[in-house]
Amino acid sequence: MLIYGLFVGKFEPLIAKKRKTLYFSGDPLINSMAKNLVIVESPAKAKTISKFLGKDYIVKASMGHVRDLPKSKMGIDVDKNFEATYVVSPDKKKVIKDLKTAIKADTKVWLATDCDREGEAIGWHLQEALKLKKENTNRIVFHEITKPAIMKAIESPEPLNVDLVDAQQARRILDRLVGYELSPLLWKKIRYGLSAGRVQSVAVRLIVDRERERDAFEKEEYWSITGEFYPDKDKKETFTAKLHKKDDKKVEIGNEKESKKILKDLEKTDFQVESIEHKEVKRNPAPPFTTSTLQQEGARKLRMSVKKTMVVAQQLYEGVNIGKEHQGLITYMRTDSMNLSTQATTAIKKMVTKDYGKEYALDKPRVYKSKKGAQEAHEAIRPVDVTLHPKDLEKHLDKDQLKLYKLIWKRAIASQMAPAIMDREKIDILSEDKKYLFRANGQRVKFPGFMKVYVESFDNPDDETKHDENLLPALKEKQGVHAKEVVPAQHFTQPPPRYTEASLVKKLESEEIGRPSTYAPTITTVMNRGYVEKEEGTLKPTDTAYVVTDVLVEHFPNIVSVGFTAKMEDDLDQIAQGKENWQEFLGDFYEPFHDNVMEKMETIKKEDVVNEESDEICEKCGSKMVIKLGRYGKFLSCSNYPECKHAKPIGETEEEEKEFTELKKKLGGKKCSECGELMEVKKGRYGEFLGCSGYPKCKHMQSIVKFSGVKCPECNGGQLIERRTRKGARVFYGCNKFPKCKFAMWNKPVDKKCKKCKSLMMEKDEKVVCSKCKE
C-alpha cells in the first residue's frame, strides 16, 4: 500500500495529463479508478462532455443504436402482442463488450443519450443489452452540451421515460411491418429491389401528384402594360407604374391584339396623380429555428441538402475544437419547439443593446407559439453562447460548419430584435379621359430593426424582392405627370413548381407526415431507391415512382393517404404522452393491413401492372411492341419475347436512333479485355456504354467517351467531352485533359465565339447563347 501511495504521488502529474486526454476513450488505468460511467452516442459528444467531469467519471460512446430488429427475419411475433426480438448489431458487439468491461459492481451508469424518442430508445436498449441494475442506472437529459447544463442534469437524474421508448418502439415495429410485408409484394408484382414505407411512400406520392399537375397544366397567355412616368418639369425623376384598372375594373389583357388597342388609346394622353396613400407597416422576424425550418432555410440560403444540414448541425451540437477546448456550439438540433430560455433571451438582449443600440433590443422577450404537440421542455435551435460571434470561429470551423453556425446565430439573434418599420406608398395615376388607372407601389425602410441581422428566404425566388426598397418621387394629388414610355409585355401562366427538398419538408410538416427528424432519411431513401431524381435542384419522379404509386393508391390507399399517415403520427404522439397503448395501436393497424396484403398477393397480376400497349411495331420480327418497366424506367420491348429480344428506349427520335446505330457500327468488333467475347453497345440509365456479349457470365463494361468537337477554351490543348456527375444523374462537359485542366460547364458547348466578349457559346433553352454574358 505504501509503495502504491509513493508511486501515485510521484507520477500523479503524469497520470493527470494522461487522464485529460484519455479518460473519455476507455483507458484501462482510468477505468479502474472511475466510479461513474457516462454513455453517450458519439465520440465527439463524449470528448466534449468529458472535459466537464472530474476523475470519478469516464465517458464512452455507444456509436448510435446498439440493438435493432434482425435483418434476416421480421423479428416480430404478431401472435404474442407484437413481441420484438432485438439483436446486438454485429458492428456493435465490441462496443457492448468494452462497455461491460468498464462496469464494475459499484459503478454508477449515467445514460446521457439524446433528449428525444430515439435517444430514449438508445438508452433503453443499452440498459437491456448491458443488463444494467436499475438502482445503479440514471438517465440524464440536457439540451445543450455546456458545463452548467451537464452538471444540472447530473444533480437531477430521471428514470427512463417508458412512454417515449414505447412510442419509438411502436414506430420501429410499424415501419418493419409495412416494409417487410409490402416490399415483397412490389418485388413480385413490379420489380425486385423496390421498397415501400409509411412515410416514404406518401412523400413519393406527393412528388408524383405534383408532376401530374404540371403535365396536365395548360399555360395561358396574358399581357401586362407598364408605364415609365415623370412629374412636370423634371424628366430625370422617373418612376414605373403598372396598368391596374380599365373603366374602373381590374384590367385583364389576354393577347397582343388587346394590348395594342390599349396602347393606341394611350397615345399622346396626359395623366395626373389621382391619389396617394401612405402606410406604416411593422414586420416581425421569423422565429428561431426548429428542425424543419433549419432544413428548409439551409436548402434555400446555403444550397445544402436536408441530409447535409443535419450532419453539420450534429457536429456543431456535439462539439468542435476551439483552440485547446472542445466545445458544443448549438443546442439540440432535433426539436419542434420555438422556445428560448430566459438565460438565452437575456444574453441576446444584452448583446443587441451593446452591438446595435438600445432601440434594436426588446423591452421583454418575444414569445412564439409552437405548433400543437411540440415538446415545450425543449428549446429552439440556438447558439449555446450568443456572444460567440461567427467571426470568432472562422479559424476553427470548416466552411459548412461556419455557414450553418452563422445562419443559426443570425436567426436566433434576429428573433429577439425590434420589428422593422416600413413606409409603404401607393400612387394611382389616372389617364386624362379617366379610363385607365396605373398604380405605382413604393417602399422605404424607415427602421431596419431585425433586418439589420437577418431576413428569411422564400421558396419562390420572385418573393425575395418584395421587401426591397423602391423609392417613389415626392408627388402631390392632382399633379400632372407624363408618360415617357408605355411598354407591353407578354407572359404565360406557370405550372405549379416541382418540389425542392426545402418545399417538400415544408409540405410534409404542414400535413403532419412523419417528424422533422425523419425528413432527411426519407428524402435520401426515395432518391437511393430510384423513385426520385434531382433535376436542377428540384425533385422529379421516375417511371418507377409512377407505377409504384399507382399500385399503392389503387390497392393500399391508406398507406399513401396523407390524412391516414398524419393520424398515425398523432397516435404515436399520444403513445409518447402515455395516453395510448402501443400494442393496441399496432393491432388496429396490422390486422386489416396483413389481410389486404395476402389478398393482393393473389389477385394482382404483374402483366397488368408493368406492361402497357403501344402502337409501335417491332422492326426485327413485325410483332407489336409493349411498354415495360425496367430497372431504369420504361422501355419498348417486343411482345414476342423471348423469341425476339428486340428492345429500345421510349420516345427516341430518329436522330437519336441514327446516332445509336452509327455508334454500334463504329465500335462493332471491339473485343472484351477480360474474356475475349465481342463487346456490344448498350443503353443504361445514364446513356450508352460497352458491355460484354458474354453477359451474365462476363460482366465487364466500359464507358464510351463522347467528344463534343469543341476545343477547351481554358487550356486550348484539350477537347470538351460529355461527362457525368459522380452519382451519374447530371450531364456536364469537361476538358479531356482532366485533372491537368479542370474546365467544366453544365450546358452543351457550341463551336462558336461570342461576338461581344469572345467567350464560348453554348446551348440553353433551345437557343445558342454566350456562356459568359448569356446573350
Which residues are catalytically annotated?
332
Beta pairing class for 719-724 and 706-711: antiparallel
- 388 half-sphere exposure, CB direction, 13 A CA radius: 20
Q: Is the dihedral of CA 524, 527, 528, 534 positive or negative?
A: negative
Q: How far is CA 60 from the centre of its chain?
A: 31
Buried b / exposed e over 229-239, threshold 16 CB at 10 Å, is bbbeeeeeeeb
Give residue 3's region: left, alpha or beta (phi > 0; psi -120 to 50). alpha
Using alpha carbons, select from 43, 61, 57, 42 the residue that is nearest to residue 154: 57
Q: HSE of 120 in the Cβ direction (CA atoms, 13 Å)? A: 16
DSSP 287: P
Cα separation, 393 vs 327, whole angstroms:
11
Strand partners, 537: none
Q: Which residues contact 146 (CB under 8 A, 6 or more apart)?
A: 52, 328, 384, 385
Residue 762: beta bridge partners? 749, 769
118 CB-near residues (< 8 Å, 6+ apart): 168, 334, 517
Q: Is the dihedral of CA 198, 204, 207, 209 positive or negative?
A: negative
CA-to-CA distance for 522 and 514, rounded, in angstroms?
Answer: 9
Residue with cell 502529474: 13
Identify the burial level of 454 via C-beta atoms within 10 angstroms of its C-beta, where 0-12 means exposed, 13-18 middle and 19 or more buried.
buried
Q: Containing H/E element for 310?
A: helix 306-318
Q: What is the DSSP string of 595-627?
A: HHHHHHHHH--HHHHH-EEEEEE-TTT-PEEEE
Q: To which residue does cell 479518460 refer?
A: 23
HSE-CB for 730 with a 13 A CA cutoff: 14
How far, in Å, CA of 119 to CA of 317, rounded?
14
Half-sphere exposure of 254 (CA within 13 A, CB side): 0
Set of cell numbers at residue 52: 466537464
Cβ 89 vs Cβ 66: under 8 Å: yes
β-strands 36-40, 57-61: how paired?
A: parallel
User: What is the spatial distance between Cα 400 and Cα 402, in angstroms, rounded to a whole number?
Assistant: 5
d(C-alpha 730, C-alpha 551), whole Å: 29
578: phi > 0 → left, psi -120 to 50 → alpha, else beta; which?
A: left
383: which DSSP letter?
Answer: B
| AA letter at 486 | V
Cα-based distances in Å from 167 to 1, 118, 162: 53, 9, 9
Which residue in this structure is represented by grid cell 404509386?
549
| Cis preceding-peptide flag for 488 (omega within 30 of 0) | no
10 Å CB burial of residue 228 (0-12, 13-18, 19+) is middle
Question: Side chain identity at 581, as an amino acid letter?
Answer: N
> What residue has cell string 479542370?
742
Q: Residue 322 class from Cβ within 10 Å (0-12 exposed, 13-18 middle, 19+ buried)?
A: middle
Q: Where are the alpha helices (DSSP H) in 103-199?
A: 117-129, 147-155, 162-189
Closest CA to 126 of 173, 86, 156, 166: 86
Query: Does residue 111 sit in helix, strand or coil?
Result: strand
